[in-house]
Homo-oligomer: A and B are copies of this chain.
Amino acid sequence: LPAEKGAVQQGLASYYHDKYHGRTTASGERFEQTALSAAHRNLPFGSKVKVTNINNGRSVVVRINDRGPFVSGRIIDLSRRAFTHISNLSAGVIAVEVEVLSEP
């Protein structure tokens, strides 16, 4: 996904397993399940993106502070809190559209 404002990408979103809570992210920050953050493969740390659940239209704005996910087909890994804004956890993996709102 080009790191330009307005760039859009569709793909799968998952959420972090609880075991990552409190660990250090690729950006050096601590990962918090209660924050509105996410991991992305290439967007610069500090980028703000809007993640929209394609099936229900709900969206959430998160800040990229980590690298991942590294599972094919998945384009973003959301903190538990961010995921629950747009889906129930039982869905596990959902179809999303990611739009770059701002770069750091």
Q: How far is the CB of A67 from chain B (nearest CB, A)?
A: 18
Q: CB-CB contacts of A59-85 with B at 8 A, as 1s and 0s?
A: 000000000000111110000000000
* A11 and B71 alpha carbons, distance in the complex (Å): 10
Number of copies: 2
Which of B71, B91, B95 is A93 in contact with, Cβ under 8 Å?
B95
Interface size on A, residues (CB 8 A): 16
C-alpha spacing A73/B97, complex, angstroms = 10
Give 19 CB contacts A-B under 8 Å: A9-B72, A9-B73, A10-B72, A10-B93, A11-B11, A11-B12, A11-B72, A11-B73, A12-B73, A12-B95, A54-B92, A54-B93, A55-B91, A55-B92, A55-B94, A73-B73, A73-B75, A93-B95, A95-B95
